Structure 1
């Protein structure tokens, strides 16, 4: 994949006429010296995704915030809050620098706001994510069998914790280990459940109705 060169945030800030507001730090020239030189401080976006579609590999920049209104221009600052000595980079300018920085290389920036994500989906993904760093410590072949048993329980109408207990009893493992395997398999899309309703073990495991990536496909397009 060939990309146009990234010219850097200094170049972008200069073109915008706000170079003086670019973040900077002071670095001592040596341990003995009392002088320090000013060095531009690099800042980058939130997430840089490397994806692949039918046309090949591409890069996408995600600018992430909790509320959509954070992307909108704010009102004019009050007279006493701005002036020639105002050296702080506003959030709006920071987002614009990020956008132009990646645009120079032909990389699209996608605005992603947490409030636009379905509430139940957010809660489910958070809960599933917390289980990803847990080490199960079972043979890979056994995990495959356990995953298959859980997959068979999806859509069966059986309450989740009963499936967990059946799995734990059959493979002689603890309930919490079985539940961890279930959560990791759902996160890895090896088991497809409905993530747009609460994913609770005291309820049946409902089959997937809508693919999450399909629902938010625009967030991943070139």
Structure 2
């Protein structure tokens, strides 16, 4: 979903969250962020201290030079950090905190929490608050997103599109010809399979080449089909009713939106 958005120009997965103050993720970005002073992140340790959650901040035990055992803050790890282009004004970042189910934002099931569920709920909620507060200090909003928020059909269509777009593409003129022909068939009883039969005869395209071109067009938003309905090669194509980026617009909304 993040990569599908045309204004997302960078994406960091499993980004370390430094306990100490650090520059904004866009500070010094090789392609973006020039000419604008972004606020710094306060650091997760300071965020935890302000929230009263220091006891829940991860810590590392180590042996000092004098032989004593000491503890130091250990970095947290985020899920996804999106870098989003905003024409005419400074670009911005959004932090996605992801869980498989929405209930897991309060309770992360582990072998250690089953016997003491209250402790598990508190630690998970506190960790989420620390992460969000650290990013908020630099005007980076946090969105809590669960896997169950995206219907399986939409997941399948986006996956097919992403996989196709990663394949070796056809020459641009042939790709454009395929997309134009498919567009003309949207809303009719013609299926992609019918259209492939034409291209297999005229251009010698294999089933795999044509299918890849089709799903690449869907991923690049050149072929606007209804993504909440399963896109199938042997079924008529359904025109896009609602852009999914409008449905999930709040997930990409910047700090001053």
Which of the numbers 107, 116, 121 marks the counterpart of 2:149?
A: 116
Q: CA RMSD in A?
A: 3.3
Q: Equivalent residue for 1:201?
A: 233
Is the Cα contact below 8 Å between 1:159 and 1:204 reproduced in 2?
yes
Q: Deviations over 1:70-91 (max 9, x none)?
A: 22468xx99x849xxx9xx922
Structure 2 residue 253 is matched with structure 1 residue 221: yes
CA drift at 1:150: 2.2
Q: How far has the Cα of 1:195 moved from its partner?
A: 0.8
SS of the equivalent of 2:76 reads coil
SS at match of 1:131: helix
Contact 1:160–1:203 under 8 Å retained in 2? yes
TM-fit CA distance, 1:128: 2.3
Aligned position for 1:65: 99
**2: CA distance, partners of 1:36 / 1:151:** 67
Deviations 1:109-159 (A, max 9, x none): 1121222223321221123223232213x3222222222222222223202
Give how far 1:101 is off.
Answer: 0.7
Q: In the alignment, does 2:40 pair up with 1:5? A: yes
Query: CA shift at 1:24, angstroms?
Result: 4.3
- Give, in whole Å, the separation in 2 of the partners of 1:90 and 1:47: 20
SS across alignment from 1:130:
helix
Bigger Rg over Cα? 1
Kindly report structure 1 stretches of 4+ aligned residues shifted beyond 4 Å: 24-29, 34-39
Q: Which runs of 5+ in 1 are unaligned?
A: none
Q: Which residue of 2 aligns with 1:99?
A: 132
Q: How does 1:78-89 map to 2 (within 5 A)?
A: 81=116
Q: Deviations over 1:58-80 (max 9, x none)?
A: 22221122212222468xx99x8
- Give the gaps of 5 or more residues in structure 2: 1-35
- TM-score with structure 1 setting the length: 0.79
8 Å contact from structure 1 (residues 155, 206) kept in 2: yes
Q: What TM-score does the superposition give when structure 2 sets the normalisation length?
A: 0.69
Partner of 1:185: 217
Deviation at 1:187, TM superposition (A): 0.8
Count of residue pairs brought into register by the alignment: 212
Q: Cα–Cα, structure 1 residues 35 and 134, in superposed 2: closer, same or farther, change >3 Å?
A: farther
